[in-house]
Structures are given as structure tokens and as C-alpha cells.
Amino acid sequence: MDSVEGVNRLAALEALRKEDWDLIIIGGGITGAGILLDTTTRGLKSLLIEKNDFAWGTSSRSTKLIHGGLRYLKQMEINLVREVGLERAIVYQNARHLVRPEKMLLPISKNGSMGRLSVSAGLWVYDCLARVKSKEKRSMLAKKETLQTEPMLHSKDLIGGGLYYEYRTDDARLTIEIIKKAVELGGKAINHLEVCQFIKKRKGIQGVVVRDAQQGWEEHLKASVVVNAAGPWVDKVRLLDQHKLPKRHLLLTKGVHLVVPREKLPLSQSVYFDVPTDNRMIFCIPRGRIIYMGTTDTVFQGNIDKPVAQKSDAQYILNAVNAMFPESTLSLEDVESSWAGLRPLIHQEGKKPSDISRKDEIFESPDGLISIAGGKLTGYRKMAERISKKVMQRLQLKWEAEGTKRLQVSGANFDSEEALKKQLNELTVEFSTDFTPENMEELFFRYGSNTREILVRARSYHHNNDTEKALLKGELDYTVSEEFVRSLSDFFHRRTGMIYFDIGRVHRQKKVALDHLSCLLNWDDQAKALQLEELECLLSEVVSFKQ
């Protein structure tokens, strides 16, 4: 992959400077990634610039669901639910290894905010709007069936439940697989490079000034159009262009998730319930050896570069979960990891955070900066289409509707569930002498059809029967050469999600990973020490609410 710079960072940076870009996109979250893929497939010369790592912002800190947003029906956001609901099926088809069906139970209580009739009607409307396939349509359960489905639920006020399908994903991996696909098709992407200024000429914005803090490199890059997809930083980037923010600006709200070992809350399946004290909704989602739960929704005014879960956030979630599942006695001590994400919502006067629309919006400045904010992970393709239409109008090019609807992201080379299972089986057989089926399954649902490339690399390290080390080195080699990994935390956080879902393994593997990455990326002792310090900081951040 030629735009993964790895060791040759300076050469890659120099190459960017020589080009005249049709489009520069600021921000490598799901929104920027989607725009890069869409515009690249339409033949534009596009460059994506990310100041940290890809998916470093909200796109690695969501609830990790590809969903229509059932709760938005309560707010009568019919068009939003229809659009993202329909997108669910498309995102699933295009990224099967990362988007997996997840049965969700919605318990109905005597004093809850939704009665049996409204849940039934709501789920029916949801099925219709999202054109849900028949085997995934909702079913309504009596009290006894609801308790059989999830025996841990409180039974006192329970009157029944609704069972429906959501799709679970890994937001950061989805982002990186989209970027990889765009790069495969000729797009360019670079991380750890910050846009710090705009280049303005008579016709308005004509490019950006970028800064690489590590290399001490600053350069001017030329572009016909610049799009600001900086998520929670959208207004900060707009302020590089304009002195004052216009009336339509962002309101950031924070959402926290907690991770506990499965044995501490042994749910049989995912549950989505409302919190009686404030009528907000909370998810509890099993994922391998852990369960994660969230989220909160509070106005955020702190440091955007460091949103963390606070004790009050954690306590709110634990109280709600313990009340819903009476045998649960979860305390702060049981939480092994957490994350906090910021929603870049469009400010609406007088509305509570949970009532503000999740619709995306596009702003155009007098000097031509196109900014996009709001929206959902699930709707990234549609947001990208709206942007590419605008960009192509500016460039006086013809725009056609088809776009990326049938384009599989990197790693998703299978047209059906059967094809996916067949590939996994073939890998399991081919590598059975070196690795267990569990090893391979874990990698497969992270890297899909690219898994073989990792296993081949891992096999070459498989001496002394140290399988865990061999797999780690294989994965590091692959993510450095194919997935833009430049730091320990890029790997343990965004590429593998281990910092959330298997934090013990991060502690166990960090030294081996440090030594191996330092060979791959030529780190000296000082760079190694900095890397370890950054990772330790992240490890304490995810449990900082315990102090």
C-alpha cells in the first residue's frame, strides 16, 4: 500500500506537497473516511488528513452499533430513522466481518416510559422504515418468555418485552477498512498530521497548511476544495477560516461506556432498557469475555482532546444496571475499562442533550470551506454522498447516484454469510497446525479476508510454541505496513480494541509490542520511552474514574 508511510514518513510527506489535490478532507473519523472513499470512486484526487490516528475521535468511542436509532422514533425523526435504518443493511453487506447481527431485548415495565402497545407499534414502524428482512422482524414477548430470554431481568414490575435485531460493529475498524479500500482505489490518507491554517487566495480557500509535530515538518498543500469533517473539532477548524462562529454551531455532549468481565454480569444476551429516573435508554451488550454498557448524555465543556469517564458518569450507569438486574451488585471496582465519546450535535436552543436531533448538517463559509457535522456512524455513506455532490458541483463535474452502495470495504470480500463461513473454515484448516480455531476466529472478525496475510506473517514467528507472541508480531507487521500504525496506542486502541475489551492482554503484551514496533519503526531509546509513557497514560485514563 503506497500511502502507508511506515518508516519513510518524510518521503511520503514530500510526495503530498507536490500534488494539486481536487479535495482535501480534514478529519479521519468515519465521516472523513466515507468522503474519501466516495470521492475517490468518483475519480477525484482526494487526500484525507488526520491530526491523531484514524478514528481517534468519536469514531472509536461510540456504542458500536449499526442501527436505525429506535429511540429517535419517540422524537418523530422519521426521515432520520428511515435513512439510517436502510443504511444498516447496506453497511452489513459491505462489511460483513465487522457488522454482525445482534438480537436486542427491550424489556417493558409497569412504570416504564413505554407501554406494550407503544413498543409493539414502535418496533413495527422501525421494521417497516428500515425494510427489515422477515427473519429479523420484531417479536413481542409475554412476561414469562421475556424472563426466559433474559433470566437476570427484574421480574417485579416486568410486563413483557420486545425482541428485535440491531447490528454490532467495531467503529474504529470500520473506519480503517473504509480508508484502506479508498487507498486501494487511489485515494491518499495520512495520520498524525494536523491542519493548522488555510491557504487563501482571491478565490477563497485554495489549500491548507499542515504540521507534523514529531518530524518538525510544516508544509503548504494545494487543493481546489477543502472539506472539514473534524467531528467535535468542526467549530475549531471553522475558526481557522472565520473570526467568529455563525449562529449554527456545535453543542458537544459526552457519552460514557463501561466494560465489566462477563462473569460479573452474566447476561444471556443484549438488553436495551429505559432508566426510570430520567427516561433515558441504556444498552448492555455482551462481547466475547466482557459486557459493555452505556451511555450517558451530558453537555461537555472540558478539553475536547481528552474526554474521560468521571466517577458520576460511571456511578449513573452502574446504578441503572443494578436496578434493572437485581442480582447484579456491580461497583466501580468491577469496571476494567471505559471510554468517553463526544457527540458533535448542532446546537438547538432550549433542548435537552438527549432531545437534540442527530441529523447531519452542512455549512458553507464565504471563503468556500465546506463543513459537515452531526449524523451517525451508520449513516456515513449518505453523509459522504451529500458532500461529494457539493464538491463535484463546485468542480463542475457530473455526479451520479450509485456511488459506494455495492462497494465492499477492505477485508469484506464475501457476498454472503455462507461465503464468509467458507473462508473462515478454509483458514482454520490451512493454519490448524500452528493456531487454534479461536485464534483465527478472533482475527477473522477483525480483518476478514485480509486475515491470511497476518497468519502467514505470524507463522514465520512461530518458534518455541509461543503462539500469543507469534500472533502479536504478525498482527503488528500487518498493521504497520497496511494500516498506518505509528504508535503502541494506535495498535492497542484503534486497530485491535484491546484497551477496551481485553485490557489484561495489553498489560501482558505491551513490552513485546514495544520491542517489535521499535524495530519496525526505527525508534531509539527516547522514542521507546515516550511510546510506553503514552500507552501507560491511556491505560490509566480508561480507569481514571476510580481515583
Q: Please list, in sequence order, all residues whose beta carbon lies within 8 angstroms of the beta carbon of residue 446, skipping any fewer than 6 positions away.
A: 97, 98, 170, 173, 496
The size of the interface with ligand FAD (CB under 6 A), counted in residues, is: 37
The yes or no reply on residue 207 touching ligand FAD (CB under 6 A) is no
Residue 414 has φ and ψ, to the nearest 5°, of -145, 135
The yes or no reply on residue 469 touching ligand FAD (CB under 6 A) is no
The yes or no reply on residue 233 touching ligand FAD (CB under 6 A) is yes
Cell numbers for 452: 491470511
Given candidates 194, 219, 430, 441, which one binds ligand FAD under the rule CB under 6 A? 194
The yes or no reply on residue 71 touching ligand FAD (CB under 6 A) is no
Given candidates 160, 207, 375, 411, which one binds ligand FAD under the rule CB under 6 A? 375
Q: Which residue's CB is nearer to ligand FAD, number 169 or number 451?
A: 169
For the CB of residue 198, give the shortest distance to ligand FAD in the complex, in Å. Answer: 11
The yes or no reply on residue 58 touching ligand FAD (CB under 6 A) is yes
Among 178, 174, 208, which Cα is nearest to 193's?
Answer: 208
The yes or no reply on residue 230 touching ligand FAD (CB under 6 A) is yes
Cell numbers for 211: 504540521
CA gap 507, 3 in Å, rounded: 31
DSSP 3-state assignment of 21? Answer: strand
The yes or no reply on residue 328 touching ligand FAD (CB under 6 A) is no
CA gap 26, 213 in Å, rounded: 17
Task: Provide the phi-psi class of 16: left if phi over 0, else alpha when psi is between -120 and 50, else beta.
Answer: alpha
Q: Which residue's CB is nearer to ligand FAD, number 49 or number 454?
A: 49
Residue 339 has φ and ψ, to the nearest 5°, of -145, 155
Given candidates 9, 173, 188, 376, which one binds ligand FAD under the rule CB under 6 A? 376
Cell 452505556 belongs to 294
What is the bridge-based pairing of β-strands 290-294 and 281-287? antiparallel
Q: Please list, in sequence order, all residues whose beta carbon lies within 8 angstroms of the beta carbon of residue 216, skipping any fewer than 6 positions away.
A: none
Q: Which residue's CB is nearer to ligand FAD, number 52 or number 467?
A: 52
The neighbouring-strand residues paired with 363 are: 371
The yes or no reply on residue 97 touching ligand FAD (CB under 6 A) is no
Cell numbers for 74: 419517540
CA gap 336, 122 in Å, rounded: 35
For the CB of residue 65, give the shortest distance to ligand FAD in the complex, in Å. Answer: 4
From the list 127-135, 338-346, 423-431, 480-488, the region that binds ligand FAD by CB under 6 A is: 338-346
The yes or no reply on residue 85 touching ligand FAD (CB under 6 A) is no
The yes or no reply on residue 545 touching ligand FAD (CB under 6 A) is no
For the CB of residue 374, give the shortest distance to ligand FAD in the complex, in Å. Answer: 7
| Binding-residue pattern over the window 289 to 318 for ligand FAD, x denoting contact by CB under 6 A | ------x-----------------------
Given candidates 9, 57, 141, 274, which one binds ligand FAD under the rule CB under 6 A? 57
From the list 58-66, 149-157, 494-502, 537-545, the region that binds ligand FAD by CB under 6 A is: 58-66
For the CB of residue 304, give the shortest distance to ligand FAD in the complex, in Å. Answer: 9
Given candidates 24, 44, 70, 229, which one binds ligand FAD under the rule CB under 6 A? 229
> How far does Cα 279 stand from its chain's mean position?
26
Rounded to 10 degrees, what is the CA torsion of 435, 441, 443, 448?
A: 130
For the CB of residue 44, give the shortest distance to ligand FAD in the complex, in Å. Answer: 19
Inter-residue contact 62 to 171 (CB < 8 Å): yes
The yes or no reply on residue 252 touching ligand FAD (CB under 6 A) is no
The yes or no reply on residue 497 touching ligand FAD (CB under 6 A) is no
The yes or no reply on residue 56 touching ligand FAD (CB under 6 A) is yes
Q: Please list, in sequence order, all residues whose beta carbon lies within 8 angstroms of the beta carbon of residue 12, skipping any fewer than 6 positions away.
A: 3, 5, 190
For the CB of residue 106, give the shortest distance to ligand FAD in the complex, in Å. Answer: 16
Given candidates 85, 161, 286, 341, which one binds ligand FAD under the rule CB under 6 A? 341
Given candidates 112, 231, 448, 474, which one binds ligand FAD under the rule CB under 6 A? 231
What is the dihedral sign for C-alpha 136, 137, 142, 147? Answer: positive
CA gap 24, 31 in Å, rounded: 13
Q: Which residue's CB is nearer to ligand FAD, number 286 or number 474?
A: 286
CA gap 462, 76 in Å, rounded: 56
CA gap 346, 231 in Å, rounded: 11
3-class SS letters over 321-339 = HHHHCCCCCCCHHHCCEEE
Given candidates 48, 140, 237, 284, which one binds ligand FAD under the rule CB under 6 A? 237
CA gap 85, 98 in Å, rounded: 17
Q: Which residue's CB is nearer to ligand FAD, number 169 or number 439?
A: 169
Cell 450535535 belongs to 345
| Binding-residue pattern over the window 16 to 55 for ligand FAD, x denoting contact by CB under 6 A | ----------xxxxxxx----------------xxxx---
Side chain identity, residue 311: K
Given candidates 85, 112, 255, 497, which one binds ligand FAD under the rule CB under 6 A? 255
Residues found in the chain? 547
The yes or no reply on residue 112 touching ligand FAD (CB under 6 A) is no
Q: Which residue's CB is nearer to ligand FAD, number 192 or number 469?
A: 192
Q: Which residue's CB is nearer to ligand FAD, number 85 or number 232?
A: 232
Inter-residue contact 54 to 33 (CB < 8 Å): yes
For the CB of residue 453, give the shortest distance to ligand FAD in the complex, in Å. Answer: 26
Q: Which residue's CB is nearer to ligand FAD, number 147 or number 250?
A: 250
DSSP character string of 165-211: EEEE--HHHHHHHHHHHHHHTT-EEE-S-EEEEEEEETTEEEEEEEE
The yes or no reply on residue 62 touching ligand FAD (CB under 6 A) is yes
Q: Which residue's CB is nearer to ligand FAD, number 375 or number 403?
A: 375
State the residues that interact with ligand FAD by CB under 6 A.
26-32, 49-52, 56-59, 62-65, 67, 194-195, 229-233, 237, 255, 295, 341-343, 375-378
